[in-house]
Amino acid sequence: MQRKRTKTRIRIIWLTSIIWLGLVSLTSAGELDQLVKQALEANPDLKSAEARYKAFQAKIPQAGALPDPIFMFGYANLPRTTLALDQMEMSGIELGLSQEIPFLKLGLMKKFARLMSERERQDYNSLKNYITSQVKQNYYELSFWLRSIQITYQNKLLLEDLAKIASVKYSVGEGLQQDVLKAQVEVSMLLDKLLMLEEQKEATEARLNILLNRSPQESLSVTEELSLVDLKVNESELHQLALESNPELSAMQAMVSAFQTEHKLAKREYLPDLDLGATYMIRKNRAEDMLRGEDLLTFRAALNLPLYFWSRQSKKVSETRYLWQSGQEKLQDTSNRVKYQVSEMFYQLRKTTSQIELYQRALLPQARQSLESARSGYQVNKVDFLTLLDNQVTVLNYEIAYYQALSGYLKTIAQLEEMVGKPLL
């Protein structure tokens, strides 16, 4: 009777495990999207990058504005001994205004500031994609640890029941003591494995909470079931998407254009800047004054002279040219690296897809069938206990390996989305 109840319990647990493994989640659709949204709203690093981008945006109108005009006030042509305004014909109060006008430079200065702002915007987008990818990867990893804990716990219950069966058989002289001891060792090993899995789960929860700007100890629930999805893009299309949308590449392109603009601006430093000014002199009205106290106006125009161009302007031109060349080479290197990483991830996805399909279509069904056969054979003493135990451990390992491959597949897609700069699912 005891053996029958134990056998029934084993079947219920085993069937529950199979049904659970085959479920496709119909609840909490969008749970991951909500976590991503929370991270993008609360992550302090992203807020810092956004503020920096806005700061660079504010530089654009500044760069295109004229320098501040200069207002002048003074007393002119006063006698040294008296400092009186009414003793000399040319004495008076002067009011002046001058304005410096950079020659053909303001437009380039504003363009340079705009390109630097664009670089910061792309850096912000790159960080946004990184945080999104990290949230997804840690979510998939957390899901894997939770599933592994559940699978391991279910297998622990099964092994405990097998240990009871072995103990009953040993007590009636139909089994071996080593079978009982072996089952107990396997249960202990699963307890140790559960401790390790729990530690990994807590570490992953802490990383995910930090991304969400929460306390590391805050509990997180994962209810969405991981499933294989079809990525309907080929390697060439992924390369094209990355070259068009990768924020790191866009930031580098903006930086190269900024270096080019700075080089043009350096060439225009050979041209003098214009300084226009005017002064108005208020004079005292004296009878003997030939001008009868009439106020005076003065207009002037000045140019700076780039006389030391060989040590200043020409060196600035060389400096900006080298920076421009360096940026172009760095852009090419970054482009090559992005394409390589995209290809590497694409090949990884292709390999993992084959592994997942192998687990789904062959390894797991065969292992479960073999386990059921061994379990039935053990009940009638046609299969030894170690064979049954080995089959049970094999199913456990395959189930965990399947979810590890599935989690790795989705994590690679998240990395690939970060690289191409767009969602792929």
Of 148-157, 171-180, 308-317, 374-383, which gets the smallest average pLDDT?
171-180
Which of 182-186, 224-228, 249-253 has the highest average model confidence (pLDDT)? 249-253
**CB-based contacts of 214, cutoff 8 Å, min separation 6:** 42
Rounded distance between C-alpha atoms, residue 129 and residue 419, angstroms: 8
Amino acid at 267: K
Question: What kind and span of H or E run contains 317?
Answer: helix 313-358
For residue 363, pLDDT beyond 70: yes
Q: Which tokens is 320 given?
A: 């900006």
Bridge partners, residue 71, by sequence: 97
Cβ–Cβ under 8 Å, residues 256 and 327: yes
**pLDDT of amino acid 228:** 83
| Residue 322 clears pLDDT 80, i.e. is over it | yes
Tell me: the pLDDT tens digits for 190-229? 999 999 999 999 999 999 999 999 999 888 878 878 888 8
In angstroms, what CA-CA distances link 312 with 166, 260, 307, 323? 91, 19, 9, 16
Q: Which two tokens stand for residue 330?
A: 């760095």
The pLDDT value given to residue 21: 39
Smallest CA-to-CA distance from 387 within 373, 398, 399, 401 is with: 373
User: For residue 398, which of 347, 373, 423, 361 has the smallest C-alpha distance?
Assistant: 361
Structure tokens at 66: 């004229």
Helix, strand, or coil (residue 364): helix
User: Model confidence over 63-115: pLDDT tens digits?
Assistant: 999 999 999 999 988 888 888 877 777 788 999 999 999 988 999 999 999 99
Highest mean pLDDT among 132-136, 151-155, 282-286: 132-136
When the pLDDT of each residue in the chain is averaged and rounded to a whole number, the result is 87
pTM score, two decimals?
0.83
292: pLDDT confidence band, cut at 50, 70 and 90? low
Q: What is the pLDDT of residue 289?
A: 56
Q: Residues 405-413: what's their mean pLDDT?
A: 95
* pLDDT band at residue 16 using 50, 70 and 90 as cut-offs: very low
Q: What pLDDT is attached to residue 389?
A: 85
Using 50, 70 and 90 to split pLDDT, how confident is the model at 286?
A: low
